[in-house]
């Protein structure tokens, strides 16, 4: 990625720009790309950590309906799509 001008719009940066800025300028991620981890328990975190291996990710996490995981993602404010369970 090319150098980013200080005059560029940083109110709504894309993922590539956010990672570039964080890596190259040693600054925290833009708030749009951070989640509310302090709002969930250690157990909920562990559940989220294991669950996505059965899902997919493009611009949003997609997974089979699991009400516990869905609620945790909503607390975290993680964009996600719930699909019907496939057996």
Q: How confident is the model at residue 80 (pLDDT cuts 50, 70, 90)?
A: confident
Residue 2: inside a domain: no
Residue 35: inside a domain: yes
Residue 7: inside a domain: no
Residue 8: inside a domain: no
Q: Strands 56-57, 80-83: parallel, antiparallel or unpaired by DSSP?
A: unpaired
d(CA 48, CA 51): 5
Total domain count, the chain:
1
Given the structure tokens 């981890």, which residue do they identify? 37
Residue 29: inside a domain: yes
Residue 1: inside a domain: no
pTM of structure: 0.54
CB 5 within 8 A of CB 21: no
Residues 34-75: tens digit of each pLDDT: 888 889 999 988 877 765 555 555 556 666 667 888 888 889
The H-or-E segment that residue 57 falls in is strand 56-57
The whole domain housing 54 covers: 15-83
């Amino acid at each position: 990625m090319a150098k980013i001008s200080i005059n560029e719009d940083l109110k709504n940066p894309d993922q590539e720009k956010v990672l570039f800025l964080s890596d190259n300028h040693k600054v925290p991620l833009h708030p749009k790309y951070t989640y509310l981890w302090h709002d969930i328990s250690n157990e909920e975190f562990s559940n989220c950590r294991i669950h996505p291996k059965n899902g997919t990710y493009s611009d949003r996490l997609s997974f089979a309906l699991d009400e516990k995981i869905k609620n945790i993602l909503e607390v975290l404010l993680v964009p996600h799509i719930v699909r019907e369970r496939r057996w």
